[in-house]
Amino acid sequence: MANSIINGVNTLQADLTGKTVVEVRGMLTQALNIDPQATPVVNGTAVDANYKLVDGDELEFVKASGTKGC
């Protein structure tokens, strides 16, 4: 079973079980265009950088909200 790594509308499936959030961020910053300030969230709950992914975890780097609109 893989993990889902999410940033905005982008999702990447990969088996990253045992990797920490900071390791995943480092691996996928460019591929998913992850903002350094993005909050990591696993299965809907905020986690810290040392959280280790377990099988099936969905890790989202929460993309910043859109600024404009007027």
Partner 1 sequence: MADKNPSAQPKERRIVVIGLGGIGSWVVQAICPFLQFSQDNWILVLIDGDEYEEKNRARQAFDELGPKAQVQVSWVARKYSHVRVQAIAQYISSGGEENTYPIRDAIRSGDIIFSCLDNHKTRKMVADHCTTLRDVTLISGGNEYTDGNIQIFIRRQDEDKTCRLEKYHPEFINLADKAPFEMSCEELATSSPQLIFANLTAATLMLNAFYALEQRKLDWQKSEVYFDIVANASTPRTRK
**Pairing state between β 10-14 and 58-62:** unpaired
- Build a one-symbol-per-residue string for 22-51: x at contacts with partner 1 by CB under 8 A, - elsewhere: ---------------x-x-x-xxxx-----
| Closest to 36 (Cα-Cα) out of 22, 19, 20, 53 | 22
How many residues interact with partner 1 (rule CB under 8 A)? Answer: 22
Q: Does 8 sit near partner 1 (CB under 8 A)?
A: yes
| Separation of alpha carbons 43 and 58, rounded Å | 5
Least distance CB 46 / partner 1 (angstroms): 6
Residue of 10, 17, 20, 29 that binds partner 1 (CB under 8 A) = 10
